[in-house]
Chains A and B, each alone.
Chain A
Amino acid sequence: MVTLGDYLIVSGILFTIGFAGVMVRRNIIIILMALELMLNAANLSLVAFSRFHVDPSGAPNYNSQVFVFFVITVAAAEVAVGLAIVVALFRLRQTTHVEDITSLKF
């Protein structure tokens, strides 16, 4: 039987993969994708808890599913703005490599 912990462990591994991607990769677009992975890991654990917390009438707790809906919406907005910034940056510098963008470095 599948337990709550199984879903939480999968969610944790997914979050770690996304985190490792943000730390290791040096391409801005890949970093954005790894951020998406991390958001999805959080969504997975939210949905798992929603299914786990069944109220007396026998329905899952829909509050967290509404929250997942909000997270997905904000992630979509964030990706739109982030990719627009990447395009503007690419026009300016012809690169998407974070180590080439060090103007703010002291």
Chain B
Amino acid sequence: MMLVFGVAVVINRNPVASALSLVVSFLALAALFMSLDAYFIGIIQVLVYAGAIMVLFLFIIMLLDLRAEELRKINWVASAGGLAVALALMVQIFAVIGRFSLAKQTFPSLARSTSDDVHRIGLLLFDNYNLPFQIIGVVILVATIGAVMLSRRETR
């Protein structure tokens, strides 16, 4: 289902429909994360991606008032070239995975099914990864200021 909607993101001509299929694709991906016992990551995926980022996309699409692209002549040569490169990439990925002997093993079972992964990730984040965490904070601050500066109307 995630893959179907992922394809829908790419082939829809209408940007709004494309963004909505991206939301469904992200929700299905969050379900996959949950199936891998990564509950924290799954919830973050729903909140940040399906919530915040997609609202941002939809907001910009509506703000710019993009309708379905007027039927522009599709550059078939460029499209075919792009698809060919993508297909070559997929074949290579499959070849690598097919050769990877660990890929045929099933997942080992966890010690307990109850999940305290928020606790564990938090400890790791503030302990081993404290400096990257602070750098990420600065990155977000810079990105926010940059976004405000870029979208500010010129006043003089």
Question: B-contacting residues of A (Cβ < 8 Å)?
Answer: 1-5, 7-10, 12-21, 23-27, 29-30, 32-34, 36-37, 40, 43-44, 47-48, 50-52, 54, 57-60, 62-63, 65-66, 68-70, 72-81, 83-88, 90, 96-97
Contact = CB atoms under 8 A, between A and B. Distances in A.
Interface in B39-62: 40-41, 44-45, 48-49, 52-53, 56-57, 60-61
Nearest to B12: A30
Interface of B: 2-3, 6-7, 9-10, 15, 18-19, 22, 25-26, 29, 32-33, 36-38, 40-41, 44-45, 48-49, 52-53, 56-57, 60-61, 63-64, 66, 69, 72, 75, 78-79, 81-83, 85-87, 89-90, 93-94, 97, 100, 102-112, 117, 120-121, 124-125, 128-129, 132, 136, 139-140, 142-144, 146-148, 150-151
Contacts of A77: 139-140, 142-144
Interface of A is mostly: helix
A84 B146 contact: yes
A20 B82 contact: yes
B84 to A, nearest CB: 9
Contacts of A86: 60, 64
Interface of B is mostly: helix
Contact of A40 (B29, B52, B89): B29
B136 A74 contact: yes
Contact of B144 (A24, A80, A97): A80
14 contacts: A2-B106, A4-B104, A13-B3, A16-B86, A23-B83, A37-B22, A44-B29, A47-B38, A63-B124, A72-B45, A73-B140, A86-B64, A87-B151, A88-B150
A51 B45 CA distance: 17
Instruction: Identify which of A57, A74, A80 gathers the most chain B CB atoms within 10 Å of its CB.
Output: A80
B38 A74 contact: no
> 4 nearest interchain CB pairs?
A58-B111, A23-B82, A5-B103, A77-B143
